[in-house]
Amino acid sequence: MNISKVSQTIVMALAACAASAAWAGDVHGKITAQGLRSAENIAVYIDSIPGKTFPAPAEHAQMNQTHLAFVPRVLVVQQGATVDFKNNDNVGHNVYWPAISHNKKMAHNLGTWPMGQSKAFTFTDAGDVPLLCNVHPEMAGYIFVVPTPYFAVTDKDGNFVIKNVPAGQYTVKTSSEGGKPASQAVTVGAGAVNVSLTVTK
């Protein structure tokens, strides 16, 4: 093989590697819930991408207090994200969480504020954050802080899509209100891959 053919082979191999590295696929899935009210509002995420770290999102996520409810009831954010908590009601609201992933040392109370105002908090630790309002004890919501930007929330039928996941082998995990965590190995390439998980109480 002459030098020009060797060079051509090397270039083609490098191009193939670059194309492979650029591949991304969508993870489509369905959650079946056992012992829970429904399969809706379950957080699904890729737990890690080996060799990659992710900067904190520049854009703030938002959790509203509207009509005496947390809206959305379930919010999923990447670790390091800042969440703005806004009061849209004409009464005072409070936001606090008694723990993060059952660790009471990570409890926090943001205080109470009137309509139209908001307070921000940056979640530097991954975990499950149960939200409460000490002014209205019937109010409840959840924030799930996950370690990667590859996540989704299930719809009313338990369906979800995690978009543009880099090619590779990963673990898909769940977090939910009242459900045990579930996980499944997945291999992502170009195109879509399907997974099925069962979350039990």
In this prediction, residue 22 carries a pLDDT of 56
119, 147, 175 - which closes a domain: 147
Q: pLDDT of 94-134, one tens digit each?
A: 999 999 999 999 999 999 999 999 999 999 999 999 999 99
| Strand partners of residue 170 | 186
How far from the centroid of its chain's Cα atoms is residue 110's Cα? 22
CATH of the domain at 34: 2.60.40.4130
Burial of 17 (0-12, 13-18, 19+ CB in 10 A): exposed
Sole residue written with tokens 């959650």: 31
Q: Is 74 among the domain residues? A: yes
**Residue 99 and residue 129 share a domain:** yes
Q: Is 3 among the domain residues? A: no
**Residue 193 and residue 168 share a domain:** yes
Q: Is 10 among the domain residues? A: no
Q: Is 83 among the domain residues? A: yes
In this prediction, residue 191 carries a pLDDT of 82
CATH of the domain at 65: 2.60.40.420
Q: Is 11 among the domain residues? A: no
Q: How would you label 102-122 residue by residue, b for 16+ Cβ within 10 Å and e otherwise? A: eeeeeeeebeebeeeebeebe
Q: pLDDT of 61-99, one tens digit each?
A: 999 999 999 999 999 999 999 999 999 999 999 999 999
Q: pLDDT of 2-59, one tens digit each?
A: 544 434 444 344 333 444 445 789 999 999 999 999 999 999 999 999 999 999 999 9
3-state secondary structure of 185: strand
**Residue 72 and residue 142 share a domain:** yes
- Residue 181: is its pLDDT beyond 60? yes
Domain count, the chain: 2
Domain of residue 59: give its range: 55-147
Report the number of secondary-structure helices (H) and strands (E) in the chain: 1, 16
